[in-house]
Amino acid sequence: MLAPQVEHLIDAALEEDLGRGDPTSEIVFAARDQLQGKLVAKQPLRVCGLAVCARVFARVDPATRFTAAVTDGDEARPGTVLAHVAGGARAVLGAERTALNFLQRLSGVATLTSAYVAAARAGRARIVDTRKTTPGWRALEKYAVRVGGGANHRADLSGGILIKDNHVAACGSVTAAVQRALAGAVHTLKVEVEVTSLAELDEAIAAGADIVLLDNMDDATIRAAVERAGGKVILEASGGVSLERVGALSRIGVDLISVGKLTHSAPAADISLEVERGT
């Protein structure tokens, strides 16, 4: 079973692509015509989104048969068959683009995340995502991050207290913002605050923050922040974290590295539907 918001997303995607019909397939194929095909990886990738892909085919025609050959989280090489699909030619080809869009996008997020996670193993940090997600796709994209071995930051604004630069500016200082948050938060909520300098880090620690986000700092400044914090708070590094940089950043000793590009800039994985036989 998929979450209701995912079902709605599938319906919206199919309405967008198939809402007014597919005259190509309707003219070329008779209603009785069948075909068999396979979904094939064209690049090294981390598989993600098979259930959503299967659901797209089923929404177009419940009689379509989708058989996964791998599972979400598996590594695939070029030429790996990910799944087999069989059914009415009109239905299969009508669902093809939408099904691939989901599978390619989610596998792309999982693949990029897995690369970051592998690079971060040089140190102690965990790779986490952000709320910089495709509108409407957040649940799926955050699932893909987990499939790639990463962890999720807040799912939405209700997921925790994170005081960002605009909160600080409106409150007047890091201290004022943290103190207001601590005074109003229930005991189960940790208070995280974003800082841009070592002076603000000191201020955040003194004010009682539980987590400090080091925003867009270079490695030397982050190293100094780790030494200055001395384990008194959880440290999260964020901003400008390239794949080439993440290993060195993890070795510095931060606890978390948040990477927006896991979801906002992951390239779609190269996957295609290859027809094997028609009848």
Tokens 């259930």 belong to 51
- What is the DSSP code string of 230-245? TTSSEEEEESS--HHH
- The yes-or-no answer on residue 97 being catalytic is yes
β-bridge mates for residue 191, sequence order: 161
The catalytic residue among 72, 129, 203, 215 is 215
Q: Looking at 38, 42, 65, 132, which residue is catalytic?
A: 132
251 is catalytic: no
Please indicate whether residue 15 is annotated as part of the active site.
no
From 129, 194, 200, 210, active-site residue = 194
- Looking from the CA of 144 toward its CB, the CA atoms found within 13 Å total 34
Q: Which of 38, 42, 65, 97 is catalytic?
A: 97
Rounded to 5 degrees, φ, ψ at 164 are -100, 180
Q: How far apart are CA 93 and CA 62, in angstroms?
A: 14
Look up 156 and say whether it is catalytic. Answer: no
Q: Is 11 a catalytic residue?
A: no
CA distance 210 to 181: 11
Helix locations, the chain, DSSP H: 4-18, 23-28, 50-60, 89-120, 138-147, 165-171, 174-184, 198-207, 219-229, 243-252, 261-264
User: Out of 15, 26, 121, 164, which one is annotated catalytic?
Assistant: 164
- Which residues are designated catalytic? 97, 132, 164, 194, 215
